[in-house]
Amino acid sequence: MAILPILKYPNPTLITPAVPVTEFNESLQVLAKDMLETMYSAPGVGLAAPQIGELLQLVVIDVDFKMDYDDDGVLPPRYFNKKPRILINPKITSSSGQHTSEEGCLSFPKLYTEISRANYIEIEYQDLQGKFRKEIHKKNLLTICIQHEIDHLNGILMIDRCNPLERQRIIDSMKVHK
């Protein structure tokens, strides 16, 4: 497995819509595993393929994992409670309600903003073998994360979901952090 570089705003790939995955092969499995390793090491709870420069409709999510370091902080972190999810060609088929919470993004390091999202979603996606699946999620971090990562597949960034003043604050912060 490999840790891949994560693209940062304003890289234009981040606003380019991804194309559907049509081949469910070993290359896709390797990419998904590399994306999980990248996400865990960042650390983050979700990562979309466009964030690592691959314009494919593929996201990896794990809102349950925990990490811990050895006593002196020298060794790499240990991960516990991993429950990775791999969603291919995901679509939100129904949504309702609204909830506002603070979100961050690996493409906007160390920046957070309030975003309103649906608090109930129904999704359809394919797994690594191409099998179609349906799920319902409501009022939890996974619900928010799925919506955030699907936005990435459509070229929508968290700054597209916040108010204009907050958007400008985040853009200005990214210029400072370059």
Residues annotated as catalytic are 149
Distance CA 151, CA 100 (A): 16
Query: Would residue 110 be called left, alpha or beta, if left means φ above 0 and alpha means ψ between -120 and 50 degrees?
Result: left
- Residue 121's H or E segment, with its range, is strand 120-126
* DSSP percent split of the chain into helix, strand, coil, nearest 5: 30, 35, 40
